[in-house]
Amino acid sequence: TQLLEQSPQFLSIQEGENLTVYCNSSSVFSSLQWYRQEPGEGPVLLVTVVTGGEVKKLKRLTFQFGDARKDSSLHITAAQPGDTGLYLCAGGPGYALNFGKGTSLLVTP
């Protein structure tokens, strides 16, 4: 099993602050996906990164895949209360994904 470690586990910030969360592994992944999960719902895909060093932007969210394809980061600029949720990274040898335990983000007004 390819393990994914996410940090920090919990993050509480105020609206307008910037933050970065990390996803690390000792394994090489062909791709990594980031999901956001809200209470009472299933995870929803935010982005897939495929190429080492790749950077993808989704409005105020910036995702980066490490050059060695073992790690990834998610940076949120000017966080808003609507960004609150559990952020999960996922990867796998095929299309059966293993998930990290996630970073639980709380953004307060």
Partner 1 sequence: DAGVIQSPRHEVTEMGQEVTLRCKPISGHNSLFWYRQTMMRGLELLIYFNNNVPIDDSGMPEDRFSAKMPNASFSTLKIQPSEPRDSAVYFCASSSGTGPSPLHFGNGTRLTVT
- Three-class SS state of 74: strand
- Shortest CB 87 distance to partner 1, Å: 12
Judged by the rule CB under 8 A, the positions of this chain that interact with partner 1 are: 30-31, 33, 35, 40-45, 48, 50, 88, 90, 95-102
Q: How many other C-beta atoms are found inside a 10 Å radius of the C-beta of residue 82?
A: 9
Closer CB to partner 1, 50 or 78, in the complex = 50
Burial class (CB in 10 A: 0-12, 13-18, 19+), 53: exposed
Asked if 2 contacts 92 with a C-beta cutoff of 8 angstroms, the reply is yes
User: Minimum Å distance from CB 48 to partner 1?
Assistant: 5
Closest approach, Cβ 33 to partner 1, in A, equals: 7
Indicate the residue among 48 and 62 with the shorter CB distance to partner 1: 48
Contact 89, 32 (CB under 8 A): yes
For partner 1, give the closer residue by CB, 43 or 85. Answer: 43
